[in-house]
């Protein structure tokens, strides 16, 4: 079965997504990026904790993520970088690592904003979008982080 987005001659895509590996969020993330943001094709880079390693400059992981982003940027002609962190992330110790939902959300907002700054300096022509995914009664929703 062929996929409508792929062709043997096309070697570029709309964006690269850097997010956590957590299985609970990926379908919602893909749907949101395609349906709400309008990006039909994108590379996926996953790391436990999403942007945590970049925000905290965590050694080899930091270097590996920047290398992967550079590959996506040069090989696939990426113009947009989408960062996604999420609620109850095991890379951060889960919900139990925070005294409240507000503190958890604030930590993610801070790391997303820091990572945006890092990537804007490294890739000055790229559009960088940061999202925080969270559970609702109806599933998963997203907020944009400036």
For residue 6, being part of any structural domain is answered with: no
Round the average pLDDT of the chain to a whole number and report it.
94
> Tens of pLDDT along 26-68?
999 999 999 999 999 999 999 999 999 999 998 899 999 999 9
For residue 108, being part of any structural domain is answered with: yes
* Other beta carbons within 10 Å of 98: 18
pTM: 0.93
> Tens of pLDDT along 13-25?
999 999 999 999 9
For residue 116, being part of any structural domain is answered with: yes
For residue 23, being part of any structural domain is answered with: yes
For residue 21, being part of any structural domain is answered with: yes
Number of domains in the chain: 1
For residue 82, being part of any structural domain is answered with: yes
Could you tell me which residue, 90 or 1, shows the higher pLDDT? Answer: 90
> Tens of pLDDT along 1-14?
555 656 666 678 99
Tell me the C-alpha to C-alpha distance, in Å, between residue 8 and each of 4, 71, 73. Answer: 12, 19, 19
**pLDDT at position 3, please?**
57
Residue 88 pLDDT class (50, 70, 90 cuts): very high
CATH number at residue 39: 3.40.1050.10
Strands, E assignment, the chain:
15-19, 42-46, 80-86, 127-136, 139-145
**pLDDT at position 4, please?**
60
For residue 7, being part of any structural domain is answered with: no
Residue 146 pLDDT class (50, 70, 90 cuts): very high
């Amino acid at each position: 079965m062929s996929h409508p987005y792929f062709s043997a001659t096309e070697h570029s895509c709309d964006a690269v997504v850097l997010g956590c590996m957590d299985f609970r969020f990926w379908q919602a993330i893909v749907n949101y990026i395609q349906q709400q943001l309008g990006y039909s094709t994108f590379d996926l880079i996953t790391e436990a904790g999403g942007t945590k390693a970049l925000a905290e400059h965590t050694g080899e992981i930091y270097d590996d993520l920047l290398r992967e982003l550079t590959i996506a940027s040069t090989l696939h002609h990426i113009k947009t970088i989408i960062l996604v962190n999420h609620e109850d992330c095991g890379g951060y110790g889960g919900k139990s690592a925070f005294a409240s939902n507000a503190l958890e959300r604030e930590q993610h907002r801070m790391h997303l904003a820091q990572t945006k700054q890092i990537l804007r300096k490294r890739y000055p022509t790229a559009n960088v979008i940061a999202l925080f995914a969270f559970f609702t009664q109806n599933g998963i929703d997203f907020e944009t982080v400036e």
